Amino acid sequence: MSRYPITIDQETVQIGSARELAVALDVLQGQYDRVVLTQLQPHLAQIIPQASQLLTVMKSLSADDQVFLIQALHGNLARIMQDASHLRDLLATLAEEKVETTLLQTLGSNGLRSLILNAEEMAEVLEWVYGHTDQLALELLGLDYVRNLSREAADLSAILHSLDSSLQAKLVDQLGWEFCLGLVRDGRDLAYLLRALPSAVSERLLKHYNPVQLTRLIGNSRDWKYLYQRLEPEEADFITDLLGLEPKRRNSHAS
């Protein structure tokens, strides 16, 4: 194992692993963290070769020094992260939006796409980003990539569930109604999307169907029950009015 020197107050020690680095940072109690990272900067990718080790070191740093470390790893970051689950785990520990933003920007579009390979992974990553960072993640991945990951209505539903309501509506508009409606093949697919969307957007979706189309889409009583039990009250009222049905009791659908 290669070892690299750091010198603090004329005392020099050798660092060869992420564990040793984390111990040194803890001992120094934040007083010289940036000095240590700066001295080791050319070797950080060798000292921290795996995602679990990066997580260990990040826990010993302030937000500003977390930003410095992420930027110092730059082109090695996607390789270190390995996959979306490690990215999710790291995001789950970050307390400040600026660190999340730096992490995503440093990974960039290519890095994020190399880690996030399906809709479930995308949803898990989005679950742990906040503020404007979820919008940044979508922009870096790109709408075409989101469409490629959304092979079924359940895929798009999972992604939408991880976003706040304003961004849900924006993403649906950006993806296009033609694309979103194309994922709906039966009543269960319709339920997936309606359950993920705020009521106002759900109503916009339902307005693309006339009663005959909607009846054919839902198809049978089993799928109707599956759909109706997952509707919010406003959605239930809208769809029963659209179909000319008597509304069921409130406790028969989502609340």
Q: Cα–Cα distance between 68 and 102 in angstroms, integer?
A: 9
Query: Taking a C-beta distance cutoff of 8 angstroms, is the pair 37, 69 a contact?
Result: yes
When pLDDT is cut at 50, 70 and 90, the band that residue 86 belongs to is very high
Angle at 246 between CA 244 and CA 252, to 5 degrees: 125
**pLDDT above 50: residue 250:** no
**pLDDT above 70: residue 248:** no
**pLDDT above 50: residue 83:** yes
- Mean pLDDT, residues 63-74 taken together: 97
Radius of gyration of the chain (CA): 24
Q: What six digits make up the tokens of 34?
A: 């940036």
Q: What six digits make up the tokens of 30?
A: 């934040």
Higher pLDDT, 145 or 254: 145
- For the stretch 130-178, pLDDT in tens is 878 999 999 999 999 999 999 999 999 999 999 998 899 999 999 999 9
pTM (2 d.p.) = 0.88
**H or E stretch including 6?**
strand 4-8
- The pLDDT value recorded for residue 135 is 95
Structural domain boundaries of the chain? 150-255
96 SS3 class:
coil
- The pLDDT value recorded for residue 240 is 86
**pLDDT above 50: residue 255:** no
